Amino acid sequence: MKNHRNVAIELTPLLDVILIMLFLIMTGSQSAIDETKEKSEKAVKVAEAEAGELREKIDVLEEDNQLLSTKVAGLEAFSEYAKIVGLSISYDDNGRHILIDDAGSWDYIDFDNESTAYGERTLRDKLQKLSEREEPIFIVFTYSDEKILTADYNMITSVLSDLKDDDLYIQTKKF
């Protein structure tokens, strides 16, 4: 049987090495924690800024919605006393088209690509027929500024201005 009493192990240098390694591991993990904390703080600041921008957009949309709701309520109340007719223009590969919405009765005017006179004359005739009714007429011309051609806008507003003299109320609105 061997006697283990003669073996002497110096634990102090081994303990020093273990403590040094533990210190290195702890300082390395602390720097990783600090780096993660900085990244998290930056992400929170960015998210707060984006949330602020979204809140501003929501506020603007709520104001627009309130205004639109008020206008819709006004039009509904107004429609009891006058006929509301919608007028809009659209473009596609086949040319220009004017849409007249007479309380759900849709009427299209297709322009000949080479002649605006046909479309202008037809629009004038159709709107003139509307003005011959007994009830008051309210014509709303809506258009998108990016899509409408200047010549078409001028032609339509000219027709509407001519009809305005016939006791029609006309409003143009860009959307």
Q: How far is CA 106 from CA 27, 29, 102, 123, in A?
A: 77, 72, 6, 13
Measured distance CA(147)–CA(13) in Å, rounded: 84
Helical pair 116-131 and 150-164, crossing angle rounded to 10 deg: 30
Measured distance CA(89)–CA(110) in Å, rounded: 10
pLDDT of residue 175: 45
Residue ranges, the chain, pLDDT below 70: 1-11, 79, 112-118, 144-147, 164-175
pLDDT of residue 59: 93
Q: Which one, of 99, 175, 93, lies nearest residue 139 by Cα?
A: 99
Sign of CA dihedral 142, 147, 149, 152: negative
82-174 to CATH, choices 1.10.150, 3.90.550, 3.30.420, 3.30.930: 3.30.420
Measured distance CA(47)–CA(38) in Å, rounded: 14
Domain boundaries, the chain: 1-78, 82-174
pLDDT of residue 46: 92
DSSP state of 111: P
pLDDT of residue 141: 79
Instruction: Using only the alpha carbons of the chain, give its radius of gyration.
Output: 38
DSSP state of 35: H
DSSP state of 133: S
pLDDT of residue 8: 59
Measured distance CA(175)–CA(167) in Å, rounded: 26
